[in-house]
Amino acid sequence: MDTTPSFRFASRRTCLTGYGSRLTLRTPPRDGLLADASAVLGGLGPDDRLVGALPFAHDAPAALFVPERIDIDLRPVRRPRARATVEMPVTIDVCAEPQPFGYCQMVQAALDRFRAARTDDEAALRKVVLARTLLATFEDPIDPGTVFEALCDDPASTVYQTAFTRADGHAAHFIGASPELLVDRQGDVVRSMPMAGSTPRAATTAADRERAARLLASEKDRREHRLVVESVLDALAPFCHQLDAPSTPELASTATMWHLATPVIGRLRGDHSSLELALALHPTPAVCGTPCAVAREAIAALEPFDRGLFTGAVGWTDGRGDGCWMVSIRCAEICGAQARLYAGAGIVAGSDPVAEANETGAKFGALLNALGMPSSPLPAVRPGASPDRVRLHA
């Protein structure tokens, strides 16, 4: 059996490492994934797990599988690891999809949609998450394990790595470090930690504290955050007889970003697996928008690429239904010598196109650092610049 892990999932509580694959499940969520997965879960042994990733698009294939063997380490795994030793890339495609100029235009187009909608129309777009990608090409194939170990430097995130087959048939690894818990189920206790509203960390302690305080006080960011929390509560309510969340968000941080976060905890009223709950929650407004169907249409119209597994979910479920699923953000798709990075930002009325472009640039930082590259290959767009006058950076 191949000794290269096909799946790794490292949180504060545990680390799962899977090898090989004895069963693969690629059913799209829209086409009966839950039913197919339930049949698989019913046949799992006590040491088995169904692991992998869910796509963003409901009609795209899932990337789930049962490893031939899975090791479970219950010791704390969040500790500094050796830094990545990947050499600097021979080329890096700074003409991301889209470039900063194009991204500002995308945000402006979304703002135009908000303004064009009637204020009394409940079906009108209220938030949309817009993303861009960055492609890095190295001289030699990238070792996913090295990138995984480097990402473990940040104790605030769950680090994941899962093997999958791309649409073109090439074997690849989807890898990242997500701070956002979609759902965790242990027995009848279910937890979620929705995040929305973000700002990049600052270089000095004083400036960093100022940015955090400004984020916590931001009316625009609190409004964006509340949309996500309400969506999570609405999605979990049919499954729970008790569901609680504080009325105000708290601050959560990673190595590169500050976020608004709200812990949600509930008690299940039936036997619903963590995968079923993940499918019910996904996608939240934190990665799609609201209303969901309208936001999906806007994303399809404005984004120039297929998200694939980005802004889906990655995690695991056991035969009892317990498990943990993270929102698949701060991630990259690694195939051979190429790494395609993804980053997005939530757009609501009042968003600043330049600020949102710079936020996505900051969100590339964790993966760029793990790949041994500068965290800012694209210069930041000047604050206050008009979105129709933003200069291209190349």
| CATH at 190 | 3.60.120.10
One-letter amino acid at 144 equals: P
Structural domain includes residue 321 = yes
Q: How many domains does the chain have?
A: 1
Structural domain includes residue 126 = yes
pLDDT score, position 372? 83
Q: Which of 17-31, 105-119, 195-209 has the lowest mean pLDDT?
A: 105-119
pLDDT tens digits, 159-169 = 999 999 998 99
pLDDT score, position 74? 74
- Note the Cα 93 to chain centre separation in Å: 22
Residue 386 has pLDDT above 60, yes or no: no
Structural domain includes residue 231 = yes
Structural domain includes residue 382 = no
pLDDT score, position 342? 95
To the query of whether residue 127 is one of the catalytic residues in this protein, the response is: yes
Q: How much is the mean pLDDT over the chain?
A: 89
Domain that holds residue 270: 5-77+89-370
SS3 track for the chain: CCCCEEEEEECCCCEEEEECCCEEECCCHHHCHHHHHHHHHHCCCCCCCEEEEECCCCCCCCEEEECCEEEEECCCCCCCCCCCCCCCCCEEEEEEECCHHHHHHHHHHHHHHHHHCCCCCCCCCCEEEEEEEEEEECCCCCCHHHHHHHHCCCCCCEEEEEEEECCCCCEEEEEEEECCEEEEEECCEEEECCEEEEEECCCCHHHHHHHHHHHHHCHHHHHHHHHHHHHHHHHHHHHEEEEECCCCCEEEECCCEEEEECCEEEEECCCCCHHHHHHHHCCCCCCCEECHHHHHHHHHHHCCCCCCCCCCEEEEECCCCCEEEEECCCEEEEECCEEEEEEEEEEECCCCHHHHHHHHHHHCHHHHHHCCCCCCCCCCCCCCCCCCCCCCCC
CB 55 within 8 A of CB 62: yes
pLDDT tens digits, 348-370 = 999 999 999 999 988 998 898 88
pLDDT score, position 154? 82
Give the C-alpha distances (Å, rounded to integers) separating 234 from 8, 60, 264, 285, 337. Answer: 31, 25, 12, 12, 43
Looking at residues 188-196, what average pLDDT do you find? 97
pLDDT score, position 92? 55
pLDDT score, position 12? 81
pLDDT score, position 391? 35
Structural domain includes residue 315 = yes
CB 205 within 8 A of CB 259: no
Instruction: Give the chain's length.
Output: 394
Structural domain includes residue 100 = yes
Q: Which of 267-271, 341-345, 360-364 has the lowest mean pLDDT?
A: 360-364
pLDDT score, position 392? 30
pLDDT score, position 91? 53
Measured distance CA(9)–CA(2) in Å, rounded = 18
Measured distance CA(339)–CA(142) in Å, rounded = 8
Looking at residues 215-220, what average pLDDT do you find? 95
Q: Which of 149, 180, 303, 359 is catalytic?
A: 180
pLDDT score, position 255? 86
Measured distance CA(275)–CA(76) in Å, rounded = 24
Residue 236 has pLDDT above 90, yes or no: yes
Largest CA distance in the chain: 60
Residue 191 has pLDDT above 70, yes or no: yes
pLDDT score, position 140? 84
Residue 86 has pLDDT above 60, yes or no: no
Tell if the pTM clears 0.85, that is, is over it.
yes
The dihedral over CA atoms of 254, 256, 259, 263, expressed in degrees to the nearest 10, equals: -10
Structural domain includes residue 375 = no
pLDDT tens digits, 7-33 = 999 988 889 999 999 999 999 999 999
Q: Which of 145-149, 161-165, 383-387 has the lowest mean pLDDT?
A: 383-387
pLDDT score, position 394? 25
Structural domain includes residue 386 = no
To the query of whether residue 363 is one of the catalytic residues in this protein, the response is: no
Residue 272 has pLDDT above 90, yes or no: yes
Residue 94 has pLDDT above 50, yes or no: no
